Chain A
Amino acid sequence: EIVLTQSPGTLSLSPGERATLSCRASPSVSHHYLAWYQQKPGQVPRLLIYGTSNRFPGIPDRFSGSGSGTDFTLTITRVEPEDFAVYYCQQFGDSPFTFGPGTRLDI
């Protein structure tokens, strides 16, 4: 089973700051099969990034993804008030497919 570990568990920032969220895979996963989601309180998850670095249509360009193998990163260049949420990485390179535990982005 590919285990995804996300850090930090909680990230406290102010609007305008840069957010760097980490997702580590053990063992490694192909970059084709790594995605990021955002979930705001009371809402369903939303796909942000697929294939490690591809923004889903409609996602602002302040969101970007990078990485390969075991280390993946979601970056928000300048955090906006509406970005405060929980972010999950997901892999489907090998079954069982898994989500990471999430990073909460707090004000």
Chain B
Amino acid sequence: EVQVLESGGGLVQPGESLILSCAPSGFIFGDYSMSWVRQAPGRGLEWVSSISGNAGSTYYAAAVKGRFTISRDNSKNVLYLHMKSLRADDAAIYYCAKGTTYYYYNMDVWGQGTTVTVSS
């Protein structure tokens, strides 16, 4: 079964850093783009960042550019989201999602999400 599983969420104070991970299974990881999407409580979906299959292309939302870094290790089958200088408005459920192809960024498999809380 094709799945992705996020981990690494938690409670942090404003200004702190956090690293989210996503572990895929059931598919050839390097053959697909991957994305992070977040959803604050009671709000809509917000695209955060995407990365192509070979990590040659990365993309970021304006709200996180310069603070968040997406990366992947295809040899270890893991996707990361390095988050720094976290703010209260970064608090959300963060979903890892698999793209439909190497460089298409619509998302056909979603994880259950990991919750990031930013509070002092």
Residues of A at the B interface (CB closer than 8 Å) are: 1, 33, 35, 37, 39, 44-47, 50, 56, 86, 88, 90, 92, 95-102
The answer to whether A88 and B44 touch across the interface, beta carbons within 8 angstroms, is yes
CA separation between A47 and B10, bound complex, in Å?
27
The answer to whether A90 and B47 touch across the interface, beta carbons within 8 angstroms, is yes
Query: Provided the pairs A44-B112, A44-B113, A45-B110 are in contact, do residues A95 and B59 lie with their beta carbons within 8 angstroms?
Result: yes
CA separation between A99 and B60, bound complex, in Å?
13
Query: Which chain B positions have C-beta within 8 A of A102?
Result: 44-45
Query: Which chain A positions have C-beta within 8 A of B95?
Result: 44-45
Query: Which chain B positions have C-beta within 8 A of A33?
Result: 104, 106
Q: Which residue of A lies closest to B95 (CB)?
A: A44
The answer to whether A96 and B62 touch across the interface, beta carbons within 8 angstroms, is yes
The answer to whether A99 and B108 touch across the interface, beta carbons within 8 angstroms, is no
The contact sample of 11 A-B pairs, CB cut-off 8 A, is A33-B104, A37-B45, A44-B111, A44-B112, A45-B110, A47-B108, A50-B104, A95-B60, A97-B59, A98-B47, A99-B37
The answer to whether B110 and A44 touch across the interface, beta carbons within 8 angstroms, is yes
Nearest 6 interchain pairs by C-beta:
A92-B105, A35-B106, A95-B59, A44-B110, A99-B45, A102-B44
The answer to whether B113 and A47 touch across the interface, beta carbons within 8 angstroms, is no
Q: Which residue of A lies closest to B60 (CB)?
A: A96
B61 interface residue, CB < 8 Å from A? yes
The answer to whether A97 and B45 touch across the interface, beta carbons within 8 angstroms, is no
The answer to whether B61 and A50 touch across the interface, beta carbons within 8 angstroms, is no
Query: Provided the pairs A90-B47, A92-B50 are in contact, do residues A1 and B62 lie with their beta carbons within 8 angstroms?
Result: yes
Query: Which chain A positions have C-beta within 8 A of B62?
Result: 1, 96
Query: Which chain A positions have C-beta within 8 A of B69?
Result: none
Query: Which chain A positions have C-beta within 8 A of B111?
Result: 44
The answer to whether B107 and A47 touch across the interface, beta carbons within 8 angstroms, is yes
Contact with B47, one of A47, A56, A99, A101 (Cβ below 8 angstroms): A99
